[in-house]
Structure 1
Amino acid sequence: MFPIADLFRLRPRNVRTRLLRDLTLVIFVTSGAIVALAVSSASKAERSTARAHIERASTQAQQEFRTRMEPVDRRLRLTWEWGKAGLLDSKDRPTTLAKLAPVLEPLPMVTALIIADSKGHEFLVSRDRNADGEPEGWVTRTSGLHESKGQLLRERWSEQRQLVEKFWIDLPGYVPTERPWFVGAVSSASDDEIYRTEPYQFFERKQLGVTESMRWTPVDGNTHVVAFDLLLGDVFAVVSEIEVSEGGETFLCKSNGDVFVPYRARRPGEPAREPQHVFVDPAKTGSTVIERAVAAWLEAGGKTDEPVRFRAGDVSGWAGFRLVNPLSGIWMGVAVPEPEIFGATIDWTPQLIVIIALVLLLGLLPAVTIVRKYSHQLKDIPKQLIGPKTFERDVQELIARGEGPTLEFKSTVRMNLKTQKFGKEIELAWLKSATAFMNSDGGTLLIGVSDDGEVLGVEHDKFDNEDKCRLHLKNLVNQHIGAEFSRLIRFVVQPIDAKTVVAVQCERSAKPVFLKAKNKESFYIRSGPSSVELSPREVLEYVNRRT
């Protein structure tokens, strides 16, 4: 990566920078001319068109969110029905766990299921997870036992719900009947009403979340409450997956305008941070679109679902807000740039098309001249695109060049050739290189090729077929890098001399990419032919310099 100032030197240090400088100038001038002509010649869309568009987008996003949340409400009511019918006895923990585990299993958003009563008894069920975050059993927490001596009983159970271990823990100050979900459910107007808390800090996790709860009161008068805990980070993940347009933004915010950003655990050496900091001022989200959309909403009075118009830099846009149900006090915002609303309605006249064609032609001529000027120097830049039809030729050319800043060889996907066993460290090794490429200038991984360039194939990995191989690769990327970055990684799996080779092509990411493994997030970049891990301070400096 080079400093921005180097781009404007009379003679930058390397061919990449010089080529980038010249082509950037050509593209900037050409695009500027096209945008200026488009803005001056395109007709103004009617305000009612924008309002109708953003209202449809907001309603669509709200409906999709409700659809995704519906299974949570449905299973909460099912558990409540069981409780009313006397089918849940927290004293019989194995039997109760056997009933509640299937309720939780298909609900990844629900981090814990709780049953409590007004006498202070509580039974909590949650998923037990390994170092990679994968579920591997169950954890229960019980309070109010006669033999507890003020402590809570924690038990770990296998996937088949067999008891593995149990031990006593202290949670000073924890009283189930004083938690907001219990107090709220007890004060609800009726038993069949779902009470939803505002965001609050979970007592043991120390993270922000919301809880849905319902109550019932048996004939003995001892009020019972069933509750589902949801981390706000998981709710945010659902919202962020809702796409309203290619360049639009979907986000969560409070009535005062604070915007929710995902919670990141504190790294070693960092000062302690309060969990409520996940709600931040819109200016600190890093998104100008969100910042200006929220500002316009607040200027209009806030707490309204009326569409508002905003301006972010040179682009105008529209935003709509809907009170998220079932999360009281939280709003879901949808912001869409104006060009995406009016693009289909702009009246591109034949004259404008001719002018744009001329501008493009004028921009193409100097671009061709620049490319020809640097053509003899471009041999030093490794080939990044591998075509399915020219796979063998392209791979052989890359192998002949050898490893470098944008090319690396790996022998297998998961097999440790020394031990002849599958090894997680083998998978993490190539995932580390992939994140380093994405955090640098992009690059290509050839899996099934030894360090000295010999084609070994990935047959040692013992995949049943190429589709199973691709699926395994994609799952690893989703698990350890993140599904949001999968669009930047392309897998090509084809044979070379009867040996299957996997080409992993990684594009440069505009956002920092972290490798998640063993409850740790690591940041890598390329340094020559190697991948180097940066410290937290170095990551901050590198990201600021890179952007």
Structure 2
Amino acid sequence: MVDAGVGSPMTDAASDSGTSLKGVPIRRSLIRNLFLLIVLLTGTILLSTVYTGQRIARSASEALIGSALHSVRGEVHGFTDPVQRSLLLGAQLARTGVVDLDDPAAMNAVFMPLVEEIPQISAVNVGTAEGRGYLLWRFPDRWRNRLVWTDRWGDRIEFSEWSDETTLLRKWTVEEPPEDERYDPRTRDWYRVAVEPDPEVSPSSAVYWTDVYKFFTTGEPGVTAMVRVQDATGHRFVLAYDVALSDLTDFTRRLEVSPNGFAFLLAEDGRVLGLPGLPRFDDPKTREAALLNRPGELGVVVIEDATRRFESLPPDQRGIFSFQSGGETWWADVRPYPLGTNRELTLAALVPQEDLVGIIGEQRLLLAGISMFGFGIATAMAFWLARRYGSPLATLAENSQRIGTLELTGLKQVESNLREVDQLAAEQDRMRLALDAFSRYVPMEIIRELLTRGEAARIGGANREITSLFTDIAGFTTISEHMSPETLMVHVAEYFEELLGIIQADGYGTVTQLNGDGITAMWGAPKDVQDHARRAIHAVVRCQERLVVLNSDWHARGLAPLPTRFGLASGPALIGNVGAASRLVYTAMGDTVNLASRLEGLGRSYGVSVVAAASTREAAGPGFAWRMLDVVRVKGKERPVEVVELLGSDSDVGEKVRRFAARYEEALAFYRSRSFASAVEILEDLLLDDPGDLSVERLLGLARTHAAHPPPEDWDGVSNFDEK
């Protein structure tokens, strides 16, 4: 028997309940602390607004002028980038052999559609080292071709005019043109600039621009973008697009910086290429006379004052600066703008401070109004939150006190629509039931011990359906060789912090191991969940999206980006505690886990980031875009497995990517059905659209090999990977 009068649990607990409680009720504490916090934040905001107005004005002015020039920079990019992209597209087409100077009509069919889409392009030029030249010149109502071949024809020029790509209006030849109309492309600026830096053919992305010069055809000033090309036959030539300076000025005059601000564009030598949108330049003759002058020669006082101020600043202080003009404060931002491979323009934006102060004043009034409105709303919410949180928590506290004295019946019902409070109430009720059950069989001291340390872990496990994930940082060995151990540790710690947070965010992702630079995780255990594959894929998509931001930030900070490969597989696995009695690890084992590990490694062979088993795609259901990569037989498995690439969520994958994936899958189907020539034809087209795609290059190489040397009759089209 137990002597209830000497140190029994009931007696000890009852004696503790008589102890007086200290502190204040949670409702009162919440009201007080929230009110103080609201007053402090509101007062701080208002004081900062009142006492730091000048500093705010300056920083806001700098931010606004910087933002304005950033917008202008974007607009200028929108003007020049289509020219460069169209030029590179034309060069890419030319490399396939469509540029045939013996067939100008065919060339017109290629370049007329390209030029029609971009109004700032006035003409297309092609020139060769043999003095052969092709010109496509756009008129308002027609097109004109000019063909020359100095080394063979001498001075002769052949002209033709077209209403469209197929309709020839007229054609004529000038055998002996006047001296000033004779043309040799090798003597023109656009040809010399393109070929002088390096006699070899430049990379496909190297676009050159000329300095300002007068066009041979019109005599008006302009600039030319050009690229060197070598076609499939080894023939080399220069492809160039003309951009008239008048078009550039029309563009800069339309730029909106602020109500009274403006922007203009300068060449490398400081001459004006794009005039500002001021009323004095509305007249075409005035614009023509002002172009290619220095900024201080435009006859605009504010520009002259800005020029003097800019020239007086040390080079390291140029950028955003203020100056006085006409008794008014102005802000200016002057920044370089790289153009192609060899040129650097200068963008300048000028804004009167009055424009900026008006915006800042509006922001101050808006901030004060929001602060007062927020103060009232927050005060009301403080009382409401105190009641909402305080009442159920007070009930929980009272129930906990009664449970502490082993009074397990007659507890109050906790009413709340807060999930966390409901969870606390549910856990409290389960604890009460557990104590009630154990108290009938086991002494209370043992129950208290079990509640303190939990159930003892034992070796063993159970079969569960899961989705397994393996990750690895591509090129991590090379990355680690170029970083100190301390820097590498901090860098990788930040990487793990971000990815682990995403994997575990929904409460169902379980990280079982960090292996060097890799992560091993699973969904479906220990918490059983039916949509484990869908949750895993959502996590991988979020990881990829986050890595885009992180890698950009790391690059800006001078740290190495950490490109990551992911491998996914879904299926049965043994889940539980593995190890010895003295040391246990909660993990997953089995074929599904091994397959996920192998698929992560396959990403290196196919040049993709996420490789998944077809079982994962099927288990995930709709909502995602995939590409069938291959059918493979990995090390340790005899049966082949279909593997797919995760392209992303359905809503985020563009039509171009989907078409690419569909064409690749069509080529793969031809390849596996032994139609190697058909596969080669599709894959070669895909490489033109996406040069360097490793999966396409790999399959194309296999298809070409099998087309030349057909495999045996029992060939099953499966790719074997014998390494891990």
What TM-score do the two structures reach when normalised by structure 2? 0.38
User: Which structure has the higher relative contact order (CA within 8 Å, separation 6+)?
Assistant: 1
Structure with more helix by fraction: 2
Q: Which has the larger radius of gyration?
A: 2
- Return the TM-score normalized by structure 1: 0.49
